[in-house]
Amino acid sequence: MRPTKAIVRLDAIVHNLGVAARLAPGSKNVPVIKANAYGHGAVEVARALAPHAPALALACMDEAVALREAGIDHPLLVLQGPNSAGDVAEAASSGIWLMLQDPRQVRWAAATRLRTPLTAWLKVDTGMHRLGLAPDTLPQAVAALRESDCARDEMVISTHLSSADETDSRATTDQLAAFNRATAGLALPRSIANSAGILYWPDTHAEWNRPGYLLYGNEPAINEGPAAAPLKPVMTLASEVIAVRTIEAGEGVGYGLRWRAERRSRIGTIPVGYGDGYPRHAPSGTPVRVNGVNVPLVGIVSMDAITVDLSDVEDAGIGSPVELWGANLSVNDVAQSAGTIGYELLAGLTARVPVESQGHESRGQSRGSE
């Protein structure tokens, strides 16, 4: 079998949720497991986190229904809300909570006659300008849901922070002020903090928080921030060296021969590429860990393979273990080299990469929501 795989430590995810809880002890946490739990396997992650959280958050109804079909019966919050009026009834009957972020969605909910009241969250746009109700329409939306009796009495008012990962930005304090103005007098529980809010902005800790990226063991800050939280790395993207050859100074490697050796060099080939989600634009010099030593990627990333310079690791050869990212090589560092973010690398793993879940009462390998 091909040696490339993602090894996921489910006990580390549970630990990281505990870190979020300790940082904001007055808040309830809804772990975000959208996009196949950021590439970590939504079903296995849901099973691991459900005993420790009042609900789990997905991006869309499709993801929530897939988890229901996989046997996950825990409350699920759909962050983008319903795509049609029919989604409202399905959500209420299935124990799916809906984030209502558009006047049309509020009208759908208010007009639907339900046997079981809907658990509704309302999102207000405080400056990100992506999703959310206009702040001055929030009281009318709350009143419409209350008058229709479609929703449970205790709705949650939410917003999303645009720049909390920039710890020196004023955008977060401006959004918080706008949110406080919009929710004044409503006397409803609130949800503001994402991962960066939990880690760096204590004033955003409300009755409910929504940790995402931090669950998977990674700090979201893009500049120098507070001391690192005691997060545990969760995923190791692992492989092995499958070929080694020696080339002379001046010889090239890979498509286009864009990288050329400046000395006699030992080149190792690793069976991972952009067909697996490894970043196509990772340049030569991007770190790859072989036999416990960081070595540079050389040449262009292809669909099925990368090449690395093993010249300074004498004991590396065919079969040597490889860490593309993980406990010893941060996905953030790899992403920075490739001009992207760790979120994209984790969520971008393709179905060709098997996910091996460990450290919990898991069912072994998982991929997506099967």
Which residues have a catalytic role annotated? Answer: 34, 255
Q: Of 147, 129, 125, 149, which Cα lies nearest the Cα of 137?
A: 125
Question: What is the DSSP secondary-structure string of 107-176?
Answer: HHHHH---SS-B-EEEEB-SS--SS-B-GGGHHHHHHHHHHHT-B-S--EEE---SSTT-TT-SHHHHHH
DSSP letter at 32 equals: B
CA atoms of 127 and 199, how far apart (whole Å): 21
296 in Cβ contact with 284 (< 8 Å)? yes
Task: Show the CA angle centred on residue 155, arms to residues 67 and 142, nearest 5°.
Answer: 125
253 pairs with which residues across the strands? 259
Q: Torsion over CA of 292, 296, 299 and 302, rounded to 10 degrees?
A: 40
Structure tokens at 339: 């001009």
Q: Of 36, 54, 66, 48, which Cα lies nearest the Cα of 156?
A: 54
What's the Cα-to-Cα distance from 359 to each of 7, 11, 45, 356, 364, rounded to whole Å?
Answer: 10, 5, 11, 10, 10
**91 three-state secondary structure:** helix
68 in Cβ contact with 42 (< 8 Å)? no
260 pairs with which residues across the strands? 252
CA atoms of 176 and 170, how far apart (whole Å): 10
What's the Cα-to-Cα distance from 180 to each of 98, 185, 187, 193, 357, rounded to whole Å?
Answer: 22, 10, 11, 13, 41
